[in-house]
A and B are shown apart, each in its own frame.
Chain A
Amino acid sequence: MSGENIKLKIRSLRKTYGSVVALDSADIDLRDGEFLTLLGPSGSGKSTLLWAVAGLNDPDSGQIWIDGREATHLPPFQREIGMVFQNYALFPHMTIGQNIGFPLEMRKMNRIDREKAVMRVLDMVKLGHVADRYPQELSGGQQQRIALARAFVYEPSIILMDEPLGALDKKLRDHLQLEIKHLHEQLGVTIMYVTHDQEEAMVMSDRICLMNNARVEQIGTPEDLYFRPNTVFAADFLGESNLVDGVIREVNGNGASVEIGGAGLTRALPNPDLSVGDRVKLMTRPEAIEVLGAGESRPNEVSGILREVIVGGGATKLFVELQGGATMRVTQLTRAATERLSPGVELRLGWEQHAAVVLKHAELESEL
């Protein structure tokens, strides 16, 4: 990240289609050189937000500022943005060279400079030899690279990408993820990226904007979202989580004590929105929970009975039924069969205080 300059400012943005609210009260700041990902399930309003920034849809209310200038209702061609579409949107009747040259031609760049610029970006995406071919003569991965080159060539202020890797197979996707990340770092461009794939978001982003039901759920670094989710939805959407019902019994400066059904008191990170007596969900990550041996101890401990063991490649999942009836998942590295625990045994589980987060109860939340 090259600075704290705000490239894109979005305030209370709202967009409806008939009676469907596609986006509601979105507030986002995108910093210069930042890679921000809009992450969320299908239909959560990611594309609507991105398209509003591009000027491809007309928001009902709210504002969009690009480089300090208001752009809310400006047409796309006056915004100096670049966009990469999921299906690439390469012009099938133009050669690769003409495709990439198009935005430069629209900017009245002369032919010689245009050709130079085209060759430069083609080399950048390692496809210098395809300038005279037509898009349909290239593979999916190559087409995607051309789409990237076309968005980079005129050095727009912000580059928007709407699930650009969605149509590719897993291997190619992994490869292109790294390539986009490298381009981002090399060129220092500002990117707003859309995906519904949480792993992709974690790998690529400086910050993630998690979206749900037309609203921004949480914005933060991948680490923030993973270790300190604000809501049950966020905890559930990123990675695996244990969500156990509980009640807050005590709150003090460095933590909260939560009683989980029948399994005793545990300590967790504080949550300023909650107070003593609130019903909450206690969130832990399965890989942060350890099976304790004799003599070992942790700040938080519960005991339960091992109900099921699932071996999945590198990791093994244990399903442990706590005394109150709740089930906790524990992830361990897979060990040889002889060392494995078998269902039915009683276990003690333990975790550190910072591995547990208290969250507002999802059902109660939705009642509000």
Chain B
Amino acid sequence: MNTATQDGSRAPSRLSRLVTRHGRIAPALIFLALFFVMPVSMLFGLSFLDSDGALTLEHYQRLWDKPVYLKVLGITLKTAAWTTVLCILGGYPIAYLLATVAKTTRARLTILVLMPFWTSFLVRTFAWIVLLGRKGAVNTFLLDIGVIEQPIKMIFNFTGVMIGMSHALMPLAVLTMLSVMEGIDANLSKAGSTMGARGGQTFWRIYFPLSVPGIAAGGMLVFITSLGFFITPALLGGARDTMIVQTIIFQIKEILNWGFAGAIGVLLMVAVLIIFFVYDKLLGLSTLSGGEATRAASLSKNPIGYVGAKVGGLFTRGMGTLCEWIGIAIGRLFPRRADKRRADGGRIAIWMVGLLMMGFLALPALFIIPVSFTESGFLGWPPQGFSLKWYQALADTPVWINAALRSFTVAILASSLGMLLGVPAAFMLARSSFTGKGAVFAFLVSPIIIPNIFIAVGLFFLYAKIGLVGTTIGLILGHTVLAIPYVVITVLAVVKGYDQNLDMAASTLGANRKQTFLRVTLPMIRSGMIAAFMFAFIISFDELTIALFVTGGEVTTLPKQMWDDALLRVSPALAAVATLLLLFMSAFILVSEIIKRRAAKRS
């Protein structure tokens, strides 16, 4: 890879060291500077310019003057807050169950959470339309058994948005909380029980406080991600559920008012930053990386944290005592017998709630499949008869075929480019120490923290200047921006876990650098690399926001085509596309999960 140091006997000069170092990380940095920093800053710059290019605050003035935008911001915050609450409440039992079962069971159950996390967003949203629509599966069922007389309105209102968004983001909450819960020593609860604490007390006084950093981190990630949503509110919400990103899309697509769109974007960004700031003050940003379960010592030294800890202490004490009373009451009703084995009722309840929530995550997407085989022209439940005509229709429509081919090509090329840029950077982050390493890492992963809409709109503007709008290459470059963070994070974890003594052992045995890399390092980290590639592939394959802006005319991708169709009408043809996509992506995710597991086993 680097010729400068191939001759191992000669100490590399400072200059060549510098070149090797920058040679590894510079391409990724330059790429992001061009296709991430530049477009995003251009967008922000635009928000301070009027139509003649003169400096102005008129866009911000308008934001302030027109109550509708602050109202939309309010709706956005409200939607995000409720989504967060639902994700935590629903996700906690899942995470708790996963954290407290045996390792092998956990590995199996985690797939039930990961699959919906990675299956196409649009597919899952369509599934809710099939389930909750006027003629959907739920209404049909309730009418049939006579519980209701009229269909209930469950979508195209706030309820629909809540169901769709909590379904979309609950896996994120689960995985974040799980990473903290896995670090909680199981012996702590056991120690509590030997000291005389009943189940309720050990949970509320010991386990729950230790899991709070997970709740905070999960809640924070869900909240921030929700702020940038538009697919779910657009497809499952009503007119009153419009979120801020939708107004940005409207400004650009319909009115072409760049400056004002930029100003709305700044408004959203400021909201995000304030939330980050408050979170950091309260809990410290370091908790976001998870794992750090114990912060009581530092918390008690910060005044806000101190009050929080006091209130939290009262709360957990109250809940603990309450649960203890319930436990005692149950104990009175059904006294424990010392000479008989007895099922653990609490555990059974946790399993039931956990499986129920996992069912909520995993099952809805399956409803897409039967409706794709309907003979009817409408998406009703139950599907009428059996026919392959919608699949036939797809095969006969070149636009779908082309979109699928393009999505595939773009995903392959974007993830390859992402690997080419991200892997050397990850290697360097893992293996050398240099000043500003933390900042470099933060920069490389920042595209996943910034709402995609900024990148998308910024790229649209940039591409408009350099003639890349509506080109496949523009799309690939945009998706590469999103792929880099995932590649860096995945590869970094793999390389960090790799024992460098093995390389040294190989070199003492007479292997040169190239041989060492090819014969020792690569075989060990290969599965991790493949996982990173597949990760990046899925990100690109399922990406809608950037595609929405930088594609046009003939050049379209599968998600973009589905979105355009869905805005007109969610039809059985769309269900057929979604079914194919569901099958393809599930297979893909299963394979990558298996590969990742194998990698984990080896290291």
Contact = CB atoms under 8 A, between A and B. Distances in A.
B342 interface: yes
Interface in A30-76: 54-56, 58, 63, 69-76
A193 to B, nearest CB: 15
B340 interface: yes
A147 B194 CA distance: 13
A215 interface: no
B192 interface: yes
Contacts of B337: 73
A106 B196 contact: yes
A102 B206 CA distance: 10
A95 to B, nearest CB: 8
Nearest to A58: B341
B197 A106 contact: yes
B294 A136 contact: yes
A178 interface: no
A89 B297 contact: no
A82 B338 contact: no
A96 B339 CA distance: 37
B296 A89 contact: no
A91 B204 CA distance: 13
Given A58-B341, A93-B294, A87 B195 contact: no
A82 B195 contact: yes
Contacts of B205: 102
Given A63-B339, A93-B294, A77 B198 contact: yes
Interface stretch (B183-191, B251-259, B500-508): B183-191
B302 to A, nearest CB: 15
A55 B202 CA distance: 15
B320 to A, nearest CB: 10
A154 B341 contact: no
Given A69-B338, A72-B339, A78-B336, A89 B187 contact: yes
Nearest to B187: A89
A73 B340 contact: yes
> Contact size class for B?
20 to 34
A56 B194 contact: yes
B193 interface: yes
Contact of B297 (A73, A81, A137): A137
Nearest to A137: B297
B293 A92 contact: yes
A76 B337 CA distance: 13
A102 B195 contact: yes
A260 B132 CA distance: 87
Contact of B338 (A72, A92, A134, A150): A72
B210 interface: yes
Given A72-B338, A76-B193, A102-B195, A89 B209 contact: no
Nearest to B337: A73
A71 B336 CA distance: 10
A4 to B, nearest CB: 24
Nearest to B189: A89
Contacts of B193: 55-56, 75-77
Contacts of B190: 54, 56, 76, 83, 85, 89
A170 interface: no
Nearest to A95: B296
B432 to A, nearest CB: 30
Given A89-B185, A93-B209, A102-B192, A136 B297 contact: yes
Contacts of A102: 192, 195, 197, 205
Nearest to B312: A93
A56 B342 CA distance: 14
A85 B297 contact: no
A171 interface: no
B226 interface: no
Contacts of A55: 193-194
A355 to B, nearest CB: 44
Interface string B272-306: 00000000000000000000011011000000000
A309 interface: no
A130 interface: no
A93 B317 CA distance: 14
B338 A87 contact: no
B229 to A, nearest CB: 34
Contacts of B297: 134, 136-137
A103 interface: yes
B195 A103 contact: yes
B201 interface: yes
Nearest to A133: B297
A180 interface: no
A91 B208 CA distance: 12
A89 B192 CA distance: 9
A92 B339 contact: no
Contacts of B192: 91, 102
Nearest to B192: A102
A74 B185 CA distance: 23
Contacts of A81: 194
Contact of A74 (B191, B195, B210, B336): B336
A73 B342 contact: yes
Interface in A175-233: none
Contacts of A87: 185, 187
B290 to A, nearest CB: 16
Interface string B218-234: 00000000000000000
A269 interface: no
A69 to B, nearest CB: 7
B197 A73 contact: no
B153 to A, nearest CB: 45
A94 interface: yes
Contact of B191 (A72, A78, A83, A137): A83
A169 to B, nearest CB: 21
Contacts of B195: 77, 82, 102-103, 106, 150, 154
A93 B339 contact: no
Nearest to B294: A92
Given A70-B338, A72-B339, A106-B196, A89 B191 contact: yes
A74 B342 CA distance: 9
Nearest to A106: B196
B187 to A, nearest CB: 4
B40 to A, nearest CB: 40
Contacts of A58: 341
B338 to A, nearest CB: 4
A129 interface: no
Interface string A309-338: 000000000000000000000000000000
Nearest to A153: B195
Contacts of A137: 297
A87 B294 CA distance: 16
A56 B197 CA distance: 13
Interface in A120-152: 134, 136-137, 150
B359 to A, nearest CB: 27
A167 to B, nearest CB: 13
Interface in A227-248: none
Nearest to A74: B338
Contacts of A134: 294, 296-297
A85 B191 contact: yes
Contact of B206 (A54, A74, A91): A91
Contacts of A154: 195-196
Given A93-B296, A107-B196, 5 more contacts: A63-B339, A73-B338, A89-B187, A134-B296, A154-B195
Interface of B: 185, 187-188, 190-198, 201, 205-206, 209-210, 293-294, 296-297, 336-342
17 contacts: A56-B193, A56-B194, A58-B341, A72-B338, A73-B336, A73-B337, A73-B338, A73-B339, A74-B338, A77-B196, A82-B195, A91-B191, A92-B210, A93-B296, A103-B195, A136-B294, A137-B297
Q: Which 9 A-B pairs have the closest CB atoms?
A: A103-B195, A92-B294, A89-B191, A106-B196, A76-B193, A83-B194, A93-B296, A89-B187, A134-B297
Interface of A: 54-56, 58, 63, 69-83, 85, 87, 89, 91-94, 102-103, 106-107, 134, 136-137, 150, 154, 160
